[in-house]
Amino acid sequence: MTNQQLYAKKFAKKAVENGFSSDYIEKCLSYANPLLEKNLPVVYNIHHLSGLVGYNVSYLKRAVKFSKYFYREFEIEKSNGKKRKLHEPLPSLKEIQLWILNEILYKLKVSRYAKAYVPKRSIKEHTIYHTDEPFVLTLDIKNFFNSIHFDSVESLFKSIGYSEKMSNLFTKLCFRENELPQGAPTSPYISNLILKDFDIKVSKYCINNDVKFTRYADDLAFSGNLKADEIKELVTDELFNIGLKLNYKKSKLMRPNQPQLISGIIVNKKAQLPKKVRNSLRNELFFIKKFGLQSHLERTNQEKPNYLKHLKSKINYVLQINPRDEEFVEYRKYLNELKQS
């Protein structure tokens, strides 16, 4: 017995027991079948969703009506020194969003060119693909998350089989005041799904012109014997079709005789972090070994209680990009034996 047949049997039995007509049962099963075929949860209304996520209807209604009060706002520093504003959902709303992510969104395929926010894909996959190429072009999508439209996401839920009301509710639960919040667990994968057709259209051009292409969130990378202006025009047109824009200030064409950087990683001959970053880590390890950890912290006026953990994460990032870097393998081994009081 198939999943659909089993569901139909159980649903019909329960519906009959509760006095529902055969027409109503048929209508419900007609709605359920396309979702079951995609292995997606069948959700009929807000009351049904309430039971599935474990939060009462009044909470769900408040979360979508007064969305800005269900997030905490904070800032993080970007690599260029500027601040990025994030909105993280409060624990209860985050739990609901994680249900939407795991039960619905993760069951939908994104393009193979999307390398960020996809299980079992990483920034290494995004960068290593472009090593040892004559030209590297990087492009950036302007105001990425904030520019993704509510209607586009609502249409996404409709396209996979959910009713107009449920598609609207799912979208509202993923949005904060009509914006896709950077900080919500659902936002990254939603962005990949919205850009799926964009990725495919751009990739067709690249395949026909022997150009390599990957996308890491809002960072686009192209490599090979490419025509930069032609690619920029194509990307601009395709982004316009989905309401997005190219950030021309961040467009960069890199030739063989200069450092070719993709998402902060050098790809000229092999993928690795820039010398400046690696040398900075070397210096820190040198002084820790020479003076000891505590003495180094005092000499540099380092007050971070998680300094050692932060340093280990930097070393691990170097090794994520290049696991065979024996020098940094030794650094990691050394740090693992240290303890910060």
DSSP 16-33: HHTT--HHHHHHHHHHHH
Length of the chain equals 341
Q: What is the pLDDT along the chain (341 residues), one digit of tens a residue?
A: 677 888 888 888 888 888 888 898 899 999 999 999 999 999 999 999 999 999 999 999 999 999 999 999 988 776 556 777 899 999 999 999 999 999 999 999 999 999 999 998 999 999 999 999 999 999 999 999 989 999 999 999 999 999 999 999 999 999 999 899 999 999 999 999 999 999 999 999 999 999 999 999 999 999 999 999 999 999 999 999 999 999 999 999 999 889 999 999 999 988 889 989 999 999 999 988 888 888 888 888 877 778 888 899 999 999 998 888 899 999 999 988 876 54
Annotate 133-168 with three-state secondary structure: CCCEEEEEECCCHHHCCHHHHHHHHHHCCCCHHHHH
What tokens appear for 88 in the block?
């993280």
Give dist(CA 172, CA 180) in Å, integer.
10
| Residues 136/128, Cβ–Cβ less than 8 Å | no
What pLDDT is recorded for position 339? 66
**Would the pTM of this model clear 0.85, i.e. be above it?**
yes
What pLDDT is recorded for position 39? 94
What pLDDT is recorded for position 341? 47
Q: Within its chain, how far is the Cα of 133 from the centroid?
A: 27
| Residues 322/270, Cβ–Cβ less than 8 Å | yes
What pLDDT is recorded for position 32? 93
For the chain, what is the total number of helices (H) and then of strands (E)? Answer: 15, 8
Q: Taking every pair of C-alpha atoms in the chain, what is the biggest distance, in angstroms?
A: 81
Identify which of 65, 71, 63 has the alpha carbon closest to the alpha carbon of residue 89.
71
Please tell me the number of Cα atoms within 13 Å of 79 on its side-chain side.
Answer: 4
Give dist(CA 80, CA 332) in Å, integer.
27
